Structure 1
């Protein structure tokens, strides 16, 4: 761990963080000094292993089972976080789902799931967290480069959900500015995770559009999140960082 701990004393909640980008974010925030809670839906073993890793760094850490599509579970996760950590300073809206398919034949169930997790889930957990986040806090959502432009076919609904996060971020930043609470996005491009592996079905469509011709690493997204969570980003709000290998260039 670094001698300088920019997030020492801060308490963070990272949703959907048992693996992939969420786990990388939690690990980076812990290295920077934050205590934290993570939510997970099914990966209990991975969540427990991550908590143990964080505790080995000297951090307080807890894993909370919560389906991001459930408003009740999301609200409960916030309350459990506050009870276990003694408060909440940083919310990272990471939970998300991508179901690539042509919109013309995408089942309503797949559309609903992406809307429920990627949009409504963010609204619900953020609203619950705002009852606790103090002045000077941070809200950071994991959006997508596809929220700005859609570089290939097959992700229409997913892109629409991430575009919603753009307006949500700007609007909430206006509301919370008087409290010095910043609201920002990190916009990953293609990141090598279980949801979108570098050798997965989307790769042939993705790789030709990249300036840096590889999938990104979860840690590279986590570094951007940690910057926005830290003291150096206090005057950045209603904005976002692209971590996309140049696919939106």
Structure 2
């Protein structure tokens, strides 16, 4: 069942999303060579709890951390660890916050120091594809319109869209109906209605679309071990135009004067 949110519920999700956006920014300050991914997780959890929220991911189906931290060829669901970031890595940081009973969910992929032009282009275009998908997330459109916008854009650059992992509804539960694939056909799928709240999250590979799950039961990586990028916003379906509930504003205040800045254009 797809649960349509009231304006009051959407405001509660936005309140959660504000804490989430600022938590991401605190983590962004630490994304640099030599920092362990476990340190990033600690920074996020402390900020979220200090602001009366709880990390949505910690304990979700047994997940052990507050952040999903996915480096280089890891697509999503990587564990924080003692791994020290290295110059030239890319790192996807996916985080959720529960506040006053409602979840928000967003992800951002950073270059660590200087990365190749090829990889930086992957990040920029994956981020751009997120906004192209969001442009289709308004009342009367269909789920397939979102996926088609993302897929059509990234595939023209020779990238591939992960099929096994998709976006989702968000609200009182972290994962709700409907699923939101990053591929599809225009005019197909569930019709979007005002009050739906969706996490739209392109996961785009530099190489082939195929992925594999590691033995830990969580970590998903590309089979060809080429890099993968991931960006995500939580949005509310409205008439005429989606409302983006999460924010990258605070992240980009931190990264604006460094190579971490990834342009949406």
Higher helix share: 1
TM-score under structure 1 length normalisation: 0.29
Q: Which has the higher contact order (CA 8 A, sep 6+)?
A: 2
Higher strand share: 2
TM-score under structure 2 length normalisation: 0.28
